[in-house]
Amino acid sequence: MAKNSLLDLLHDHAQNRGQETACLVKSDGKYGPVSWAKLWDEAKKVGKGLIAAGIQPGDRVNVIGHTCLQWIVNDLGILAAGAVTVPIYPSNLPDECQFVSDHSGARLVFAESADQVEKFLEQRDNLGEVIKVVQWTGDKRVEDEWVQTYAEFVAAGEAVSDEQLDERGASLEPESVLTIIYTSGTTGRPKGVVLTHANMLYEAEAIADTGLIHQDDIQLLFLPMAHVFAKVLEAGWLSTGHVLAFAESMNTIRDNLGEVRPTLMAGVPRVFEKFYAAVVDKGMANEGIARKLFAESMKLSQQNGELEEQGKKLGLARSAEFGLLKKTAFAKVGAGVMAILGGRMRVMISGGAPLSKKIAWFFRDAGIVILEGYGMTESSAASTVNFPGNNQIGTVGPALPGTQVKIAADGEILIKGPGVMREYWRNEEATKETLDEDGWLHTGDIGELDPKTKAVRITDRKKDLIITAGGKNIAPQRIENAVKIHKLISQCVVHGDRRKFISALITLDEQHLESFVHDKGLGGDYAVWTKAPAVRAEVEKLIAESNQELASYETIKKFEILDRDFSIETGELTAKLSVKRKVVNSKYGHLFDAFYEESFKA
């Protein structure tokens, strides 16, 4: 029977698999199960509370908080009431929360804590549509009827009948709006992407049909639910009915992996970069032959991958050496990584940003599967993905069944299919700029299609491409990723549009910087360390290593180390931790200009 909404998927599990485990949640120091029946019961309480509060079908409801069971319960309860979830990143500042809430016309807000409630209290005069803020954990800090505890909210909904709630759920249709997700935006105000139930039903069905996720999987979830990547993972979970385990926080992922022992995990590249850095640290800490073998393994892994991309193979002798290393050094690395992952990890999925090929090759050769996928908020997150047994590293895989991909004359990737958004909320001009008359979504990404496999290869963002004074087209992400693979580097932003050469601003990873200066016997703090000659010499060495992988015109000729890292609070990072290139170029433009003034004087 065809499904009209994501709510129908939940109903099926609650009715047919009610006592089976839907989620794993840590409480009192250990993980315990939450059944599908229990999940639906909790979602019903939220739905009834919303009806009692006066929320009508199609009304928008904000949810702000960290990823947890209650976030999902709130979301499913909003669907049960026939309303629309509009998530907000918990890291958003008060004025950013106000914009999303006001622009979406939200009527009610679910806020995780008193700290999150404070953001709305501060902006209350600018939130004319919001009738209530519901705080779902902790005690209220204010005696104000505008703010309600979760217990008070649920109690008010007890008078609402099951029949009333069922009518709301039955009113949902495939074209009903499911969610409005505001892109974090690297420039300007975010835009509200309108996704329907049909969009996510397609994604859920496509994911299930590919066999990428199995019903017997256990998935560890830690991505922010305000991000579309997490939303499509939720849809995939509702489709296949596997077990969803919630990490306590981003900082406890390693501990939670050992406790949950998942078979499936999805994350952004930064997660896998940290795993890689830890493995390299451990491998290079060895002495003698063990260190030498590890270093040779890394070298051969990259050489093999680069030749593979060219359709070539290692020579006979090197191939034999590589095969031996895979059975020895790599096998040991793989066993160690698998132990950290809990011992049962079947597959990991990377998305949201490009994954370094060097990292992907290394883990593959160690027997750890990381599949890269691609999409954007406007395409419901999943448009292309690689598969186990057909993982073409360096690409983001072929299009999902039912999705079309083509490359425009200027190299831009265009997408068409059931996952493409309806529109930008209350922004007709931006909608027309992004969706053409034939329904093609203009992604803003530059790429190419593999003629044999139809896998998509992304090179950069269209608006980020650098054209040097010499007329060379340069993709900055390729350079930045080559530098960021080093554990000491936190961020790298390159510059050079209409300039004679490439320059860069570098920020350092505080944890690894502290370890480095401790070994050197240096005192001080982060800002002082960034100016230390030993630190600069190390960064110069790392950039020189990265430059070896680049064409001469792509290499970084000059750089500056900033005395603090980028952050959301200081404005250089989006809520999903992407660099706001325009902000960085504006804020530090004087540093970039100085690179070229010095060159001119010389």
State pLDDT tens for residues 490-502. 999 999 887 889 9
Question: Does residue 64 contact residue 88 with C-beta atoms inside 8 Å?
Answer: yes
Q: What is the mean pLDDT of residues 282-301?
A: 90
Question: Does residue 504 contact residue 490 with C-beta atoms inside 8 Å?
Answer: no
Token pair for residue 180? 């409005």
Three-class DSSP category at 15:
helix
Question: What is the H or E stretch that residue 564 is in?
Answer: none
The residue assigned the tokens 């406790």 is 259
- Burial of 512 from C-beta contacts in 10 A (0-12 / 13-18 / 19+): middle
Structure confidence at residue 264 (pLDDT): 97
Query: 582 pLDDT band (50/70/90 cuts)?
Result: confident
Three-class DSSP category at 404:
strand
Q: What is the CATH number of domain 466-596?
A: 3.30.300.30
Q: How many CB atoms lie within 10 A of CB 278?
A: 15
Phi, psi of 117 (to 5 degrees): -60, -40
Three-class DSSP category at 567:
coil
Span of 343-352, 455-464, 500-509 with lowest mean pLDDT: 455-464
State pLDDT tens for residues 5-25. 999 999 999 999 999 999 999
- Give Cα separations from 569 to 17, 92, 577 (angstroms): 44, 9, 11
User: How far is Cα 579 from Cα 570, in angstroms, rounded to an integer?
Assistant: 12
Structure confidence at residue 184 (pLDDT): 64
State pLDDT tens for residues 313-359. 999 999 999 999 999 989 999 999 999 999 999 999 999 878 889 99
User: How far is Cα 140 from Cα 70, in angstroms, rounded to an integer?
Assistant: 18
Phi, psi of 534 (to 5 degrees): -65, -35
Of residues 494 and 599, more confidently modeled = 494
The percent of residues above 90 in pLDDT, for the chain, comes to 76
How does strand 84-88 pair with strand 60-64?
Answer: parallel
User: How far is Cα 369 from Cα 344, in angstroms, rounded to an integer?
Assistant: 12
Q: What is the CATH number of domain 6-172+211-266?
A: 3.40.50.12780
The answer to whether residue 506 scores a pLDDT higher than 60 is yes
State the sign of the Cα–Cα–Cα–Cα dihedral 519, 523, 528, 534. Answer: negative
582-602 burial: b if 16+ Cβ within 10 Å, else e? ebbeeebeebbeebbeeeeee
How does strand 218-221 pair with strand 243-246?
Answer: parallel
Question: What is the H or E stretch that residue 544 is in?
Answer: helix 533-547
Question: What is the H or E stretch that residue 365 is in?
Answer: helix 357-365
Q: What is the mean pLDDT of residues 257-265?
A: 97
Q: Which of 238, 246, 236 is nearest to 213 (CA)?
A: 236
Structure confidence at residue 319 (pLDDT): 93
Token pair for residue 332? 């040991």
The percent of residues above 70 in pLDDT, for the chain, comes to 98
Q: Provide the phi-psi class of 188: left if phi over 0, else alpha when psi is between -120 and 50, else beta.
A: left
The residue assigned the tokens 């700290």 is 115
Q: Which of 367, 325, 318, 362 is nearest to 345 (CA)?
A: 367
Token pair for residue 63? 């949810």
The answer to whether residue 37 scores a pLDDT higher than 60 is yes
Structure confidence at residue 342 (pLDDT): 96
Structure confidence at residue 549 (pLDDT): 84
Q: What is the mean pLDDT of residues 121-138?
A: 96
The answer to whether residue 186 scores a pLDDT higher than 70 is no
Structure confidence at residue 599 (pLDDT): 47
Question: Does residue 19 contact residue 35 with C-beta atoms inside 8 Å?
Answer: yes
Q: How many CB atoms lie within 10 A of CB 523?
A: 9
Q: What is the mean pLDDT of residues 172-180?
A: 98
Structure confidence at residue 600 (pLDDT): 41
Q: What percentage of the chain's residues is helix, strand, coil (to nearest 5)?
A: 45, 20, 35
41-78 burial: b if 16+ Cβ within 10 Å, else e? ebbbbbbbbbbbbebeeebbbbbbbbbbbbbbbbbbbb
The answer to whether residue 259 scores a pLDDT higher than 90 is yes
Question: Does residue 496 contact residue 468 with C-beta atoms inside 8 Å?
Answer: yes
User: How far is Cα 278 from Cα 499, in angstroms, rounded to an integer?
Assistant: 37
User: How far is Cα 579 from Cα 187, in angstroms, rounded to an integer?
Assistant: 10
Token pair for residue 374? 């691609």
Whether 466-596 and 6-172+211-266 are alike in CATH topology: the answer is no
Structure confidence at residue 185 (pLDDT): 56
Q: What is the mean pLDDT of residues 209-234?
A: 94
Structure confidence at residue 465 (pLDDT): 76
Q: What is the mean pLDDT of residues 145-169?
A: 97
User: How far is Cα 505 from Cα 490, in angstroms, rounded to an integer?
Assistant: 11
Structure confidence at residue 601 (pLDDT): 45
State pLDDT tens for residues 510-565. 999 999 998 888 889 999 999 999 999 999 999 999 998 888 888 999 999 999 99
Token pair for residue 359? 């990292």
**CA-based R_g, the chain, Å:** 25
Q: What is the mean pLDDT of residues 353-375?
A: 92
* Residue ranges per structural domain of the chain: 6-172+211-266, 466-596
User: How far is Cα 172 from Cα 5, in angstroms, rounded to an integer?
Assistant: 6
User: How far is Cα 475 from Cα 593, in angstroms, rounded to an integer?
Assistant: 20
For all residues of the chain together, what is the average pLDDT? 93
Query: 569 pLDDT band (50/70/90 cuts)?
Result: confident
Question: What is the H or E stretch that residue 587 is in?
Answer: helix 581-587
